Structure 1
Amino acid sequence: MASERDPSASRPLSELVEELLAHEGPLPIVTAGDPVLRRPAEPFAGQLDPGLLTRFVAALRATMHAAPGVGLAAPQVGVPLRIAVIEDPAPVSEEVRVVRGRVPQPFRVLVNPSYEGVGAGRAVFFEGCLSVPGWQAVVARHAEVRLTALDERGRAIDEVFTGWPARIVQHETDHLDGMLYLDRAELRSLSSNQEMADRWTQPTPAEAAAVLGFALPD
């Protein structure tokens, strides 16, 4: 219910998570319009005990796989905590791998992540979101980022990501700041999944830009 997903509610987050985990199957993914997606998430500071955190992370991973997606942030299941998971088997062609820098990423848990751009390089590609189902749009993002975070055991992460993994890191961390990819998107590029399949399967969005009438950043 909407009130249970409201970060301003006084209900302990551990109770919310326990209730979510009481149901079998993937967790329900909230969609654009739910306030939890538009408010900065709380830094994780032990709101979930270690056992509950482990179970919640496992549920996030299962939900990400079922969607399917390559990342999922806690607010996307209605839990306003700075926790996200990422994993990408990268089942793409060699051409796409080279152009987009999409390479396999192992499963990772990001707790209290933040990122900063490395250098001036930008990467511009279509992007979608499990919380904005049915649509994709072109987003310009840092081509390389430095991520700092903790893992699920509290160990420090300080790593540089490039290519598609950098895009995933930025997308999921943005969720924790109350941002959707549409906030950064070229809206003239907005395309349904059907149009994407029919028209815009090229490795880059150059043809879409020419036909739909938007400029790609230099």
Structure 2
Amino acid sequence: MAMGRPWEKLLALARGCGGTGPWVAGSPALRRPWARAVRRWLLRPPEPPYKHVCQVGEPALRAVAAPVDPARLAEPEAQALIARLVRVMRAQGAVGLSAPQLGVPLQVLAVEFPERLLDSYPLAVRQARRMAPCPLRVFVNPRMRVLDAGLDSFPEGCLSVAGFVACVPRCRAVQIEGLNENGESVVWQASGWLARIIQHEMDHLQGCLFIDKMDSKTFTNVRWMEVND
């Protein structure tokens, strides 16, 4: 079947993606206010990959992401997805982002922790959380292996659950391997905060959010003090 829209072409990059999943007919739908419904009818609606980060409730965030066909990784649609993923991640000041967060349930993620962002944290926090910088890394069809199963629990947030944080236990060291944006095999061993970032993004590819693994008693609205004031 011909794939005419950009997001359909992206989904065609997935192996075994036969048009089923929670993002198709039959999934729960919310009614839009009348004015917004008219606007959506008059104007062409935005399509994945979005230029914004999806919020919890977006079906792609709860789908198990499909693998990308390596033979099609060099095609314009796949490269455009990767470019937008990196662009949105940087625009939001994030250290990691996955394709489902842009509404595309494919196994693609990006990680980057620049020095300037690292320097914005107090030294004591950087040391306690074992933070270290890393250049941009893109992984397609990634696989992860735990190297140190010891757990550290620190506050964690997510752009797809905007405005909230909670303590989440994560393994201390992991190894991730897959393809980079050029289709080359890459392997990366990471510990501390970088290992946490990897585990967070890998969870997204399984339809899992940090709220599924958090210590619920630590769940916090980051604006709670502002509201009280």
* Alpha-carbon shift at residue 80 of structure 1 (Å): 0.9
Q: Secondary structure at the match of 2:159?
A: coil
- TM-score, normalised via structure 2 length: 0.73
Match of 1:36 among 46, 60, 64: 60
- The answer on 1:170 being equivalent to 2:199 is yes
Partner of 2:105: 80
Q: Please, which runs of 5 or more residues in structure 1 have no aligned partner?
A: 1-9, 199-218
1:86 alignment partner AA: V
Deviations, residues 94-135 of structure 1 (Å, cap 9, x unaligned): 212211111111111111112121133111100000100000
Q: What letter corresponds to residue 29 of structure 1 in structure 2?
A: V
Taking only aligned residues, the RMSD between alpha carbons, in angstroms, comes to 2.6
Map of 2:212 onto structure 1: 183
CA contact (8 A) 2:73 2:79 kept: no
Contact 1:14 1:48 in 2 (8 A): no
Partner residue, 1:114: 143
Any idea what SS the aligned residue of 1:120 has? strand
- Pair 80,86 (structure 1): closer, same or farther in 2 beyond 3 Å: same
Identity %: 37
**Residue in structure 1 matched with residue 93 of structure 2 by the alignment:** 68
State the AA in 2 paired with 1:40: V
Q: Is the 8 A contact 2:147 2:173 kept in 1?
A: yes
Q: 1:154 and 1:47, CA in 2 relative to 1: closer, same or farther beyond 3 A?
A: closer
Matched-pair contact (CA < 8 Å) for 2:64–2:207: yes
> Which letter does structure 2 place at the counterpart of 1:34?
E
Match of 2:190 in 1: 161
Distance, in Å, in 2 between the alignment partners of 1:181 and 1:74 is 16
Q: Deviations over 1:43-93 (max 9, x none)?
A: 011455433322222211111112221111000010111001111122322
1:102 to 104, 118, 131: 131
- SS of equivalent residue, structure 2 residue 125: helix
Contact kept, 8 Å, 1:13 with 1:48, in 2: the verdict is no
Range 42-51 or range 106-115, more displaced:
42-51
> What is residue 209 of structure 1 aligned with on the other side?
none
Which residue does 1:146 correspond to in 2?
175
Normalising to structure 1: TM-score of the pair? 0.76
| 1:172-205 deviations in Å (ceiling 9; x for gaps) | 111011110111101110011124899xxxxxxx
Q: Which runs of 5+ in 2 are unaligned?
A: 1-6, 14-45
C-alpha contact 2:172 2:192 (8 A) present in aligned 1: yes
Mapped to 2, the partners of 1:158 and 1:86 lie a distance apart of 13
Structure-2 change in CA distance of 1:118 and 1:38 (3 Å): same
Determine the C-alpha separation between the residues in 1 that align with 2:151 and 2:90.
28
Larger gyration radius, structure 1 or structure 2: 2
Q: 1:11 to 1:53 in 2, by over 3 A?
A: closer
- On the 8 A contact 1:144/1:161 being kept in 2, the answer is yes
Secondary structure at the residue paired with 1:86? Answer: strand
